[in-house]
Amino acid sequence: MENFTPIQSLIGGLLIGVSASILILFIGKIAGISGIVASLLQFKNKPKEHYIWRGLFIAGLLAASYVYKAFAPLPVSEISASTSTLIIAGLLVGFGTQMGSGCTSGHGVCGLSRLSLRSLVATMCFMFTGFVVCYLMLHVV
C-alpha cells in the first residue's frame, strides 16, 4: 500500500462528481464518456446540437492537462502496455462499452449515483473481469 493516495483520490473524485452534477443539473445530460465519444462517431442525419455539447465536453477533457500544467507539474502517466496490448485493450474497451451501454463514468459514477440496478450490474461485471484479467496478466501469464 506504499502508493496509497486516499486524499488526492477523494478530491479528484469529488471534482468528477461536481462535473457530472453540472452536466445533469444545467445541460440535462449524463457524463458517460464512452457514450459521448461513440455518439460523435454517428454521422448520419444528426442535428448540429447532437455534436456541440459532446464535442465541447471532450474538448474540456483534452484541455485538462494543459490547464493543470499551468498550476503544477503534470503527474506522469506510466503506460507499461505494449503497442499490441494497447490495440487489443482499446478494441475491447470501445466495443465492450457500446455493447454494455457505458463505462466507469456512465455506469460507475452516474449510474450508481442514480441507484440504477443496470449500472450496478455493469459495474460489478467490469470490476470482476478487471480483477481477473489483472490477476492473469500479473501473476499467471
Partner 1 sequence: MKNIITFSAGLIFGLGLIISGMTNPTKVIGFLDLAGKWDPSLAFVMLGAIVVAFFAFRRAEAKTLTLLDEPIDLPAKTHMTKELVIGSMLFGAGWALAGFCPGPAIVALGAGYEKALIFVIAMLVGMAAHEYLYKK
Give the C-alpha separation, 19 to 60, whole Å: 11
Q: Which of 6, 45, 70, 73 binds partner 1 (CB under 8 A)?
A: 6
- Nearest-approach distance from CB 66 to partner 1, in angstroms: 7
- Nearest-approach distance from CB 18 to partner 1, in angstroms: 6
- The count of other CB atoms within 10 Å of the CB of residue 135 is 11
Binding to partner 1 in span 91-130, by CB under 8 A? 91-105, 107-114, 116-118, 121-123, 125-130
**Residue 87 near residue 65, CB atoms below 8 Å:** no
Binding to partner 1 in span 53-72, by CB under 8 A? 53, 56-68
C-alpha cell at 103: 463505462
Residue 46 engages partner 1 in binding (rule: CB under 8 A): no
Size of the site for partner 1 (CB under 8 A): 109
Residue 141 engages partner 1 in binding (rule: CB under 8 A): no
- Nearest-approach distance from CB 122 to partner 1, in angstroms: 4
Binding to partner 1 in span 8-37, by CB under 8 A? 8-31, 33-34, 37
Q: Which of 45, 50, 77, 141 binds partner 1 (CB under 8 A)?
A: 77
**Residue 23 near residue 30, CB atoms below 8 Å:** yes
Q: Which phi and psi angles does 27 have, rounded to 5°?
A: -100, -25
Q: What letter would DSSP give residue 41?
A: T
The residue to which cell 490547464 is assigned: 67
Give the C-alpha separation, 20 to 55, whole Å: 16
